[in-house]
Structure formats: structure tokens, C-alpha cells
Amino acid sequence: MILSVSRRTDIPHYYADWFLERIKEGYLYVRNPRNAHQISKIILSPEAVDCIVFWTKNPEPILSRLGALEAYPYYFQFTLTGYGRDMEAHIPHKKQYMIPIFQTLSQKIGKEKVIWRYDPIFFTDRYTPAYHIRAFRQIAEALCGYTLKCVISFGDLYSINQNNMKAFHTFSLEEDQLFDFGGQIARIADSYGMQAATCAETADLSECGIEHNSCIDPSLIERIIGCRLNARKDPHQRRECGCMESVDVGTYHTCKGGCRYCYANGSQDSVFKHSSCYDVHAPLLCGRVTELDQITERKALSFRDKQLTIWDRNH
């Protein structure tokens, strides 16, 4: 089983205490976002968890406690963009604060296990293609030697984030402009020792030097755990998504980052309402179990291929 921690909220930033408490207790609960009274019990033993994939904009709260994860393989998806507070309201200053945290994390766990995400990319009057190129170059230079991959994606507007984004007057690039932009990104990444890749994009930018990415990446996980996986594509993600199957342990409407483009939050009122239910000792993140809820233990299936092949024996 691969744990996704989490596409739905920034657990390392805001709920690290809760997650480490659940690791200690050996299980957690996840409410089904499509069926409010259906709760899964997830066993967190090292035998059940093949790898943990963390998604975060600020892992500082967990940095000093990585020893609690010693029994688990893991890596981080670390989002670091060029946006200001108008777009990412509660993210600390990038140059003064977040880049040093990225560097520290990389030094602690290794540059292969910290993936830089420059996403989502929205084009606006302020955040023009030229602006993004300058910001990308500056961050890439600072992260040179601290990561091997940079993942980009182009932002989408959904019903949940459209109102928040109205004031920015976003626009899209024509195909030739998009390829020119992608080519510049690829060349900058390469010049600083990184492979550029896209996340769940319909556009094929391989001719620009940008590969399609699997954020929950079976190849990377195999290298980290030293074992082959019997992996399959996650059927619950978009068709363009290359991620392998995982179990997300987060809760929607609980991220306090205040990012205007966020697709996982509703209004700030909904974030306040849900996050006010936070209890570090509760098995459910920002929620309480009621008498109407049905709890079912999810069968924990390892994807590890325990049969050695001739190739494995020779290598």
C-alpha cells in the first residue's frame, strides 16, 4: 500500500502532530469524500505500507521528527512557486524561508527523495510567462544540487476555485507559445541538473525535453525500497495522470494555506469549520465519528514483488 499524505490538504505543514501520532498508534481513519458516513480504517504498520508520499508547501513542522518515520520508506513532493501573497496568502517568504527549508530537507533525506513542484502555473497580467521564467530560473539556481526533478502543471479552473481566481484575469497560451515556454523551462531545469516533467497534462511537451510524470512514481519507489512493485495505474485519478494506486489519508476543506487556486478547499468559512474539529489524538483528521458512520478496515495489500527474477539475482 502507498500512502498519499496528502493531495487533499497539507498534512506535513498543518497536521504533522496528528500524522505522527497515528504512526505511533498504528492506524488512522479516512472518511470517504463521496459517502460521508463511510469510514475506512487504514493500518499503518511498516509491513502494510510500502512507501509514504508527502505533498507539502512547508515541511518544517516535521523536519526535526523524521526519525519517527525510520521504519518507512518515503519521499516528498515539495511545492515552491514564484507567487506572492496575493496568490498564496499564508506561505512564508520563499527566498528567506522556504528555499532554506527545501535545502535542509534534501540534506537530511537525499536529493532524489525531494521532488520540486513548480505548479500550478497560471498566466495573468502580473504572472506573465516572462515572470514565471524569471522566478523558475531563480528558484532552480537556488535548488541546484538539492533535487533531481522539477514537476510543472498548468492550472485549471473548477467550480470550487473559479470565484477565488476571478480577480486575476487568467489567460491561456497558444500552442506555439506553450511549446516555447516549455522549452525554456526544460533548458533551465537541465542547466541546473534537473529533469523537467509535467503532472497530468494533456499537452505532450516531450519535444521540448519535458517528460510525462508519475507523481506517485513506481520507478522512484522501487529505487527507494530496493524491490520491484506489482503496480497499477490509480483508477481514481484523471486519465492523463500517471500515478500508481495509493490511499489518500487527507480531508478536504482543511488546508490553511489560503492559496487562491486551491481545488481542495471551499470557502475560508468551510476551512475554519473543518479545521476547528482538529484533535491530535483522534483517528480521523478534522472530524468526529458519529453513530451514523460505518467503519470498515481496508485490506492492506503490499505491492512488493517478493519473487526474485533472473535479472534481480544477477544485479
**Per-residue DSSP letters for 147-169?**
-SEEEEEE----TTTHHHHGGG-
Give the ranges where 28-128 is alpha helix by DSSP (H).
60-63, 99-109
| Conformational region of residue 161, where left means phi above 0, alpha means psi within -120 to 50, and beta covers everything else | alpha
Is there a contact between 273 and 30 (Cβ–Cβ < 8 Å)? no
pLDDT tens string 236-256 = 777 767 788 999 999 999 999
pLDDT tens string 50-109 = 999 999 999 999 999 999 999 999 999 999 999 999 999 999 999 999 999 999 999 999
56 Cα distance to chain centroid: 6
pLDDT tens string 174-206 = 999 999 999 999 999 999 999 999 987 777 888
- Within 10 A of 284 (CB to CB), how many other CB atoms are there? 19
Please state the pTM of the whole predicted model.
Answer: 0.94
Is there a contact between 296 and 38 (Cβ–Cβ < 8 Å)? yes
- Would you kindly state where each structural domain of the chain is located, as residue ranges? 2-314
- Within 10 A of 301 (CB to CB), how many other CB atoms are there? 11
